[in-house]
């Protein structure tokens, strides 16, 4: 039996998951999806943990979204049977894809280019396989996806539908531009646009005689802000389970809903320049610049009390190097901030910070209740 441990006994720097907050975030998103009348296919890329994905899918549909084939393999091995790989397919990884297609009920691949369709089809034909394919649509993020206003997009969809080796499972988009929003109201506007683009494109496909099953949209900012998702069949938020300082700054959540933090130890205190050095640097927090469009002086995360996670006013992570975090205080340093004392930091971007760790310490309040091991690599 595990000896009862508390936060004080943890070695630092370490990644902490607040299980109470995590469960609330999971439940709130499940309820939100139900209210909006869409299926929730959570993205597991933020946490990459089987245990966390089970909490996310407890309430309903068990389908998940992954960002890497390493995640797909690990989650398939753990019993997840309905997996969407929401990054355009890499044509040099098709052996992995055929393996996953055989081991699951649904393994959906993303394409946005006729050459990718051709490559996928040739491989599937040679292997006597049939791949389920989603056509990625660019709804304004301009990273990947077909232009829905270009007639070529309809032709690509038709070519998928016409292939005996590919099945058009539907269309998918990611409104990544929502990360430029400054408020929940702005994100709601992006969510409306995301839905409108997808509904209109689905209409054009249907008018061309192409059957469209899934209409999948994503992003934590848009899904947490969306008011009406008529015409959409599923949502794929991922970050919402952890949330982070960025999501709080743009209004996706409150700071007291952030379930992921990094525990750090003070290495040095420099009262004359009101600075502390802690042992959480770029390899523990990531170097994500955070919500600088909302707060140019945000630094590399929000510093909170190690016990109650209450934000410490005026204390900012002003710079980071590989293993050092430099914190600056607007007021004289507290006498309790001495070498050996601890602070907790809510990172700017939980997806990147979590990827710095090979295990998460799962806590309820001050008590350590579990340790989770995320999937790493590709």
The set of residues, in sequence order, having a beta carbon less than 8 Å from that of 74 and lying 6+ positions away, is: 48, 50, 375
Q: Which of these ranges, 28-36, 87-95, 182-190, 211-219, lies near its own copies under the rule CB under 8 A?
A: 87-95
| Residue 294 in the binding site for its own copies (CB under 8 A) | no
Cis previous bond, 13, omega within 30: yes
Q: Which of these ranges, 163-171, 190-198, 240-248, 349-357, lies near its own copies under the rule CB under 8 A?
A: 349-357
Q: Which of these ranges, 52-60, 141-149, 165-173, 183-191, lies near its own copies under the rule CB under 8 A?
A: 141-149
Helix (H) or strand (E) holding 193: helix 184-207
> Pairing mode, if any, of strands 64-66 and 39-40?
unpaired
| Residue 12 in the binding site for its own copies (CB under 8 A) | yes
| Residue 338 in the binding site for its own copies (CB under 8 A) | yes
Q: Which of 247, 268, 276 is nearest to 259 (CA)?
A: 247
Edge-to-edge order in the sheet of strand 166-172: 39-40, 234-236, 214-218, 166-172, 131-136, 106-111, 82-88, 64-66
* 3-state SS class at 101: helix
Task: Work out how close the CB of 20 gets to its own copies at its nearest, in angstroms, rounded to a whole number.
Answer: 25
**Positive or negative: CA dihedral 14, 20, 23, 24:** negative
Q: Which of these ranges, 108-116, 160-168, 246-254, 307-315, lies near its own copies under the rule CB under 8 A?
A: 108-116
Interface pick for its own copies out of 44, 223, 277, 298 (rule CB under 8 A): 277
Q: How far apart are CA 111 and CA 39, in angstroms?
A: 22
Interface pick for its own copies out of 351, 362, 363, 375 (rule CB under 8 A): 351
Task: Work out how close the CB of 138 gets to its own copies at its nearest, in angstroms, rounded to a whole number.
Answer: 9
* Contacting its own copies within 200-219 (CB under 8 A): none
Eight-class DSSP state of 66: E
Q: How far apart are CA 253 and CA 251, in angstroms?
A: 5
Interface pick for its own copies out of 3, 35, 273, 331 (rule CB under 8 A): 273
Q: How far apart are CA 65 and CA 235, in angstroms?
A: 10
Interface pick for its own copies out of 130, 158, 265, 371 (rule CB under 8 A): 265
Task: Work out how close the CB of 142 gets to its own copies at its nearest, in angstroms, rounded to a whole number.
Answer: 7
Q: Which residue has the tokens 């507290």?
A: 334
Q: Which residue has the tokens 């245990």?
A: 51
| Residue 282 in the binding site for its own copies (CB under 8 A) | yes
The set of residues, in sequence order, having a beta carbon less than 8 Å from that of 183 and lying 6+ positions away, is: 250, 251
Q: Which of these ranges, 83-91, 159-167, 253-261, 291-299, lies near its own copies under the rule CB under 8 A?
A: 83-91
Interface pick for its own copies out of 157, 303, 326, 345 (rule CB under 8 A): 326
Interface pick for its own copies out of 21, 41, 45, 195 (rule CB under 8 A): 45
**Positive or negative: CA dihedral 234, 51, 356, 338:** positive
Interface pick for its own copies out of 88, 140, 213, 231 (rule CB under 8 A): 88
Of 80 and 300, nearer to its own copies (C-beta) is 300
Of 59 and 289, nearer to its own copies (C-beta) is 289
| Residue 155 in the binding site for its own copies (CB under 8 A) | no
* # chain residues binding its own copies, by CB under 8 A: 56
Q: Which of 156, 96, 172, 168 is nearest to 130 (CA)?
A: 168
| Residue 340 in the binding site for its own copies (CB under 8 A) | yes
Using CB under 8 A as the criterion, which residues of the chain lie in contact with its own copies when the complex forms? 11-14, 45, 67-68, 87-93, 112-113, 115-116, 119, 142-144, 176, 265, 267-270, 273, 277, 279, 282-283, 286-289, 319, 321-324, 326, 338-340, 342, 351-352, 355-358, 376-378
């Amino acid at each position: 039996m595990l000896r009862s441990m508390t936060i004080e006994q943890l070695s630092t720097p370490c990644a902490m998951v607040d299980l109470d907050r995590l469960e609330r975030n999971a439940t709130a998103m499940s309820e939100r999806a139900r209210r909006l009348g869409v299926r929730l296919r959570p993205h597991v890329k933020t946490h990459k943990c089987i245990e966390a994905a089970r909490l996310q899918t407890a309430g309903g549909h068990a389908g998940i979204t992954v960002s890497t084939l390493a995640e797909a393999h690990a989650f398939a091995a753990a019993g997840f049977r309905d997996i969407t790989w929401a990054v355009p397919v890499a044509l040099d990884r098709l052996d992995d894809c055929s393996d996953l297609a055989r081991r699951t009920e649904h393994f959906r691949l993303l394409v946005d280019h006729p050459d990718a369709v051709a490559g996928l089809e040739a491989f599937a034909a040679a292997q006597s396989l049939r791949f389920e394919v989603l056509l990625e649509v660019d709804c304004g993020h301009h990273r990947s996806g077909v232009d829905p206003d270009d007639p070529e997009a309809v032709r690509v969809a038709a070519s998928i539908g016409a292939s005996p080796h590919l099945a058009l499972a539907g269309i998918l988009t990611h409104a990544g531009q929502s990360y430029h929003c400054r408020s929940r109201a702005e994100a709601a506007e992006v969510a409306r646009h995301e839905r409108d683009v997808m509904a209109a494109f689905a209409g054009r496909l249907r008018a061309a005689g192409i059957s469209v099953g899934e209409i999948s949209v994503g992003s934590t900012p848009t899904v947490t802000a969306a008011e009406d998702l008529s015409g959409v069949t599923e949502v794929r938020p991922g970050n919402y389970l952890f949330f982070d300082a960025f999501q709080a700054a743009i209004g996706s959540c409150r700071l007291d809903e952030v379930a992921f933090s990094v525990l750090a130890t003070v290495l040095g205190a420099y009262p004359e320049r009101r600075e502390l050095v802690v042992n959480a640097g770029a390899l523990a927090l990531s170097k994500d610049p955070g919500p600088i469009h909302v707060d140019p002086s945000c630094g590399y995360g929000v510093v909170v009390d190690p016990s109650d996670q209450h934000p410490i006013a005026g204390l900012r992570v002003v710079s980071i190097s590989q293993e050092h975090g430099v914190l600056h205080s607007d007021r004289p340093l507290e006498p309790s901030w001495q070498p050996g004392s601890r602070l907790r930091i809510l990172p700017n971007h939980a997806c990147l910070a979590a990827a710095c760790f090979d295990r998460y310490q799962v806590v309820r309040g001050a008590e350590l209740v579990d340790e989770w091991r995320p999937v790493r690599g590709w």
